[in-house]
Structure 1
Amino acid sequence: MSTVRLPRRMLIATFSTILMLTSAAAGELASFKDKLFAYPGILEQADDGAFLKVDYDKMRDIHKRDEILERRVKGDYVSLGVRWRQDFETVEHQGRSVDVFHIGKLRSARFAVIFVHGRGGDRKLGANDFTFGGNFNRLKNLVDENSGVYFAPSAKDFQDQGAADVSALIDYVHASAPQAKIVLTCASMGTSICWKITDDATASGQLSGMMIFGGPANPAFPRSAAYAAKLPMFFSHGSDDNVYRWQDQYALYKSLIGKHYPTRFVLFNTGSHGTPIRMTDWRVTLNWILK
């Protein structure tokens, strides 16, 4: 499909209007600090809006947003009352012990988000209110205010053991709240776990969507159980990522969109490896997956 380029102000206004109308019609996740976390500008869109190139500026989106660069966001971006309803615990299921961060009432949850960190991280990364521009704090509040549940497990590795733990966690959520739509999200090297889950017909069959942040592509995905089930796939990447090439992930996305597969791709122009976690709009993306 052709790429459309419009004046920047017109793109921002048009895109914002579409998002508001779509969210209102879907009646899904209520707003939470939308103006602060909305994409700062759309430079380009294609594939009927499935592909977006987002304006990213390090001086604006890190230096002006953070009180301590990349360690503590300014107070306007966080709401800390949610901390009273969170916990660190160990989930025992299917003979496995999985250390997790957890917020939300599981048994009554209408949706669930599971976040898998990358190399060097653990469950604390997905619980941190102040890093990554406060984006995890926003996710926690979106979950808390919309009858959801959020788990961030510590991955023992990014191979079979880590995938088995995440698979057990997915089943635990599904068994405890069979009505909940489950979204699995993975960042960086943690994406290897997401790709392993796509080959697991049982685990992927319990999911309603998957989000990939700045990770490696998987050319074998079209042969997976998740692909056969048309599991919605969302990708976000920084164009200046020096760990994993965005072009590889984009090639996978294009192969999917060309077959009318449910998928979205957000490219942050000049963004680095950590930019997708900082800048991805959780509410917009979850509303697309959950609708």
Structure 2
Amino acid sequence: MAGPPLHAQALELKGHKDRLFAYPGILSMSEDQAFTVVAYDKMRDIHKRDIEPERRVQSSYVSMRVKRYSRVAVHEANGRSIELGLAGEYASARFAVIFVHGRGGDQRLGMNDYTFGGNFNRLKNLVLVNGGAYLAPTIRSFDDTGAADVKALIMAGRAPVVLACASMGAFICSKLADDPEVIPRLAGMALLGGAPDMGLARSAAAKARLPLMFTHGSLDTVYPWESQKAVFDAVRATSAAYPARFVLFDTGSHGTPIRMTDWKQTLEFLLGR
């Protein structure tokens, strides 16, 4: 499944179930295409998509070939054992995606093929068919210790890494955004319903113009979307045509970005810069 190296230019990945996972409707888009509002409908996007709402998606949304390339692994670093779900071969990957879960999660969340509308299954398939690797570590704490563990995983590979942080996991993204050793190893960051941090606009990541993707629900009661949009605006103000995008799911809740983010579009944006 390996392929030629990725280049920092226009990129088109091989797709996987693109029609099923494409955004269901664009309500509005800014002139520069940086801010998009996507139509979300709980009845359509959960109850008609899942056999058991929020527990098991219809079989048409998943492809279980990824099971052959998936396993639970342990990475030793910083005197600790870091448990992670792994799909693909990190050592020889063209690129990698590391998913950081939020509070109460572990590696099983990011490896579950049937929850969140099958979107993790699609992400794993997309990564594998394009010669990449997917890592979903268990984060024990969202402080410097947790950040050090994720850094160890990033530094253990050779491929450019997309660091995707959901909910409270965004604390890890924020900490690593100011690490000068980590930034050159990253292709970009994705913040899914993430905790807002205005410090991101002053970070080493912003100074390096690291591509950023924000996805958020408009009815998120944990982290209001307006606060995250303010971070997005502040980052964009740091330089002309900063490579950042924001996708807002109209009427979406805190978990909506994990279910609805179009990973093909997201990875093409982050890896193609």
TM score, norm. by length of structure 1: 0.87
Task: Determine the structure 1 residue equivalent to 2:208.
Answer: 229
Task: Determine the structure 2 residue equivalent to 1:92.
Answer: 76
Rounded to whole Å, the distance in 2 between the matches of 1:197 and 1:48 is 28
SS of 1:143's equivalent in the other structure is: helix
Pairing partner for 1:115 from 99, 122, 144: 99
User: Is contact 1:97–1:165 with CA below 8 Å preserved after alignment?
Assistant: no
Give 1:1-291 correspondences, 5 Å limit: 26-93=10-77, 95-173=79-157, 178=158, 180-258=159-237, 259=239, 260-291=241-272
Instruction: Tell me the percent identity.
Output: 56
Rounded to whole Å, the distance in 2 between the matches of 1:167 and 1:256 is 23
Q: Report the alpha carbon displacement of residue 261 of structure 1 after superposing the two structures with TM.
A: 1.6
Rounded to whole Å, the distance in 2 between the matches of 1:249 and 1:197 is 18
Deviations 1:97-151 (CA, angstroms, capped at 9, x unpaired) = 2111001122221110000000110000000000000000001101111100000
SS of 2:186's equivalent in the other structure is: coil
Deviations 1:199-226 (CA, angstroms, capped at 9, x unpaired) = 1111122111000000111111122111
Rounded to whole Å, the distance in 1 between the matches of 2:11 and 2:271 is 10
Greater relative CO (CA pairs within 8 A, separation 6+): 2
Deviations 1:260-283 (CA, angstroms, capped at 9, x unpaired) = 321000000000000000000000
More helix as a share of residues: 1
User: Is contact 1:96–1:168 with CA below 8 Å preserved after alignment?
Assistant: no
Rounded to whole Å, the distance in 1 between the matches of 2:11 and 2:248 is 27
Deviations 1:68-111 (CA, angstroms, capped at 9, x unpaired) = 00000000000012111100010124544211100112222111
Q: Report the alpha carbon displacement of residue 27 of structure 1 after superposing the two structures with TM.
A: 4.8
- What value does the CA root-mean-square deviation take over the aligned residues? 1.3
Rounded to whole Å, the distance in 2 between the matches of 1:101 and 1:201 is 27
Q: Report the alpha carbon displacement of residue 256 of structure 1 after superposing the two structures with TM.
A: 2.4
SS of 1:236's equivalent in the other structure is: strand
Rounded to whole Å, the distance in 1 between the matches of 2:182 and 2:32 is 31
SS of 1:162's equivalent in the other structure is: helix
Rounded to whole Å, the distance in 1 between the matches of 2:12 and 2:98 is 18
Rounded to whole Å, the distance in 2 between the matches of 1:219 and 1:77 is 36
User: Is contact 1:238–1:270 with CA below 8 Å preserved after alignment?
Assistant: yes
For 2:258, the aligned partner's letter is I
Unaligned runs of 5+ in 2: 1-8
Rounded to whole Å, the distance in 2 between the matches of 1:257 and 1:47 is 15
Question: CA separation of 1:27/1:167 partners in 2, compared to 1, >3 Å: closer, same or farther?
Answer: closer
For 1:147, the aligned partner's letter is G
For 1:141, the aligned partner's letter is N
How many residues are aligned here? 262
Q: Report the alpha carbon displacement of residue 50 of structure 1 after superposing the two structures with TM.
A: 1.0
Deviations 1:233-278 (CA, angstroms, capped at 9, x unpaired) = 1100000001001001101112223333210000000000000000
Task: Determine the structure 2 residue equivalent to 1:16.
Answer: none
